[in-house]
Structure 1
Amino acid sequence: MNNSESDYEEELEAFLIWMKDAGYTAYTQKSYLADVREFLEGLNSKPLESVKKLHVVSYLTSVRERGVSDATRNRKHASINCLFKALIELELLSVNPAAGIKKSKTEKNREPVYLDEGDLQRFLSAIDGKYRSRNLAVFLLMSYMGLRVGEVHTLNLSDYNAERRLLRVFGKGRKWRNVPVPEDVAPYLEQAIKERLNPWRSKEEAMFISQKGRRLSIRGIQGIAANTFGRFQNGVPEAHRRPYSSHKLRHSFATMLLRKGADLRTVQELLGHSSIQTTTVYTHITSREKEEAMARLQISMPMMEAPATK
């Protein structure tokens, strides 16, 4: 433990207790604590009750100057805001200096990177190795049911109802949602459950187990995806490779549904978005689709007049 941590040991412990009680995932707890520790380190042992908005803004500015994305800067702001909110609720502080600071504007109109159906087939075909049935099921849940990495990680065996072909998913905002399992996906999920690796603890409920016998971690899923995407893009020149990641499978699911005419509200429910505004990012249209739409127009124009001659 470094000096800054020992100075704020009570506050950090209180923050962790608050996050656990609020139901934050282990992954979020770890991320928020890392952000908060970085912030506290720059305070030079200043008591938290003396921290002003200026100190928070100064830290966030230094973060941006390091070249991190707007999304990362906003997450760090959320972590610090959460810390002060927790300490106020636990009656250790009375003021939140992180409140009221504006978020960085992220690029709202940026089109998500996704795979079309042909690419998805090729990606799924690139899954191989000893744990193929497990990894295939993981990526089918993401690409054909829209699950987030963290949601796959938290799945338990009891969350799947094989009789009703329904999966109970614990999502963002600590909300549950039921997602129907497509008829073609169900056999792969059931095979993965049947071939599930033996867990290290006999009472382990996790649906997906790592080779070490523990719940398959978020980092583990991301690593398997990175390796598979590497094989998927094998032969593609480095300059033309796309920045694929496991989360792009969820993008692909949303894009496919909307292109097949699914209602935006239904897609919102399936993805577990609290706001429909988040879902609208998937309504991107390609140049080819624009050209095809324009080509369908039946245009009847009046005859052009011949240019007048002098």
Structure 2
Amino acid sequence: MNTKYDIEDMYAEQIQAFQVWMKQSGYTEATRKEYLREVYDYLSSLDEAPVQQAGKLNVVSFLVSKQEKAGDRTRNRTLSAIRSFYASLIDFELATRNPAMEVKKSKTEKNKNPVYLEEQDLQKVLHYVGGRFLERNLAIFLLMGYCGLRVGEVHRMNISHFKKERGALEVLGKGRKWNEIPLPAMVTEVLMRAAEERISPFSAKEEAFFVSQKGRRLSIRQIQKIAAQVFEAYKLDHPHLTDMKLSCHKLRHSFATLLLNNNVDIRVVKELMGHASIETTMIYTHINDEQKRNAMSAIKVPKI
């Protein structure tokens, strides 16, 4: 088996192209690391063959070997990484075709609903946000739970992106696409307080809206840690949520569900969520138990 250093030596130009392409395309640091790890494994499976000569069989064979150890979701993530890898090579004219696009994704549980907090829980969890930098932490929670921002979008947010005069936020989303989000009045108010109490950055050039205790842009991991601490405290007082896997992304799920439960047009939800396709937004159109009960209570069954 080739070592990482062997791979880097044999495929140096392709790996460099992939790293530059992912960064230019706006992939988060976590995604870049994960995709790069998957691509290293894939390149190792080629047994030193040129990347441009690899075909559908090479990709499928590699995915089958991965699937023996993991499930469909892992296989699909690996396939996405390889597709992106070849897309970068085509973009930089290092390959002419993407064999991974000829491979279909595995069917996962399409009927599995996203995990989300009900509106009452979403409201209550805000009271568990604390810490030395309360306004900053509260602003982070509001942006994810009531504006639907991804954790990476919160991380990338700069002072200049907050347009307090018109109560809006410019969001740099996936694929480096910009999206302007109108903010609820309370979110605007909290962001203004957070801006006033913003920690002085270590560097005068630092434009990050959310700054760490050390004066640097708050990392994705730090944001996730803040959220995890809040969820842990909330679960202790609300046993019905003990087994629910809550995270920053679940706050985004909660936001989408909140909009749809309030009969917001799905096309508007798509734009607010920054989705490229309405099919992605459709996963949030699940029906909860209360809605099912209300529907059934409207049916009048005659006495027999």
Normalization by structure 1: what TM-score?
0.89
Matched residue, 1:308: none
Matched residue, 1:230: 232
Paired-residue identity, %: 49
Conservation of the 8 A alpha-carbon contact between 1:145 and 1:181: yes
Conservation of the 8 A alpha-carbon contact between 1:112 and 1:251: yes
Conservation of the 8 A alpha-carbon contact between 1:155 and 1:207: yes
Matched residue, 1:37: 40
Q: How many residues of Structure 1 are paired with residues of Structure 2 in the alignment?
A: 301
Unaligned runs of 5+ in 2: none
Matched residue, 1:130: 132
Root-mean-square deviation over aligned CA pairs: 2.2
Normalization by structure 2: what TM-score?
0.90
Alpha-carbon deviation of 1:156? 0.8
Tell me, in whole angstroms, the C-alpha distance in 2 between the residues paired with 1:221 and 1:171.
Answer: 17
1:179 to 178, 181, 187: 181
Matched residue, 1:78: 80
Counterparts of 1:126-275 in structure 2, within 5 Å, are 126-234=128-236, 240-275=242-277
Q: Tell me, what secondary structure is at the counterpart of 2:15?
A: helix
Gap change, CA 1:64 and 1:236, over 3 Å in 2: farther
Counterparts of 1:8-19 in structure 2, within 5 Å, are 8-19=11-22
Tell me, in whole angstroms, the C-alpha distance in 1 between the residues paired with 2:95 and 2:263.
Answer: 51
Gap change, CA 1:108 and 1:298, over 3 Å in 2: same
Tell me, yes or no, if structure 1 residue 280 matches structure 2 residue 282. yes
Deviations 1:177-223 (A, max 9, x none): 11111012222111111111122221111111122322112222122
Gap change, CA 1:61 and 1:212, over 3 Å in 2: farther
Gap change, CA 1:279 and 1:230, over 3 Å in 2: same
Q: Tell me, what secondary structure is at the counterpart of 2:101?
A: coil
Higher helix fraction (1 or 2) = 2
- What one-letter code is carried by the residue in structure 1 that aligns with 2:254? S
Unaligned runs of 5+ in 1: 305-310
Conservation of the 8 A alpha-carbon contact between 1:225 and 1:245: yes
Tell me, yes or no, if structure 1 residue 61 matches structure 2 residue 72. no
Tell me, in whole angstroms, the C-alpha distance in 2 between the residues paired with 1:273 and 1:49.
Answer: 32
- What one-letter code is carried by the residue in structure 1 that aligns with 2:52? E
- What one-letter code is carried by the residue in structure 2 that aligns with 1:41? S
Q: Tell me, what secondary structure is at the counterpart of 1:168?
A: strand
Q: Tell me, what secondary structure is at the counterpart of 2:204?
A: coil
Alpha-carbon deviation of 1:117? 2.0
Gap change, CA 1:118 and 1:204, over 3 Å in 2: same
Conservation of the 8 A alpha-carbon contact between 1:148 and 1:250: yes
Runs of 4+ aligned residues of structure 1 deviating over 6 Å after TM superposition are none
Tell me, in whole angstroms, the C-alpha distance in 2 between the residues paired with 1:196 and 1:26.
Answer: 24
Gap change, CA 1:210 and 1:66, over 3 Å in 2: farther
Q: Tell me, what secondary structure is at the counterpart of 1:98?
A: helix
Alpha-carbon deviation of 1:236? 5.7
Alpha-carbon deviation of 1:296? 2.6
Tell me, in whole angstroms, the C-alpha distance in 2 between the residues paired with 1:40 and 1:144.
Answer: 42
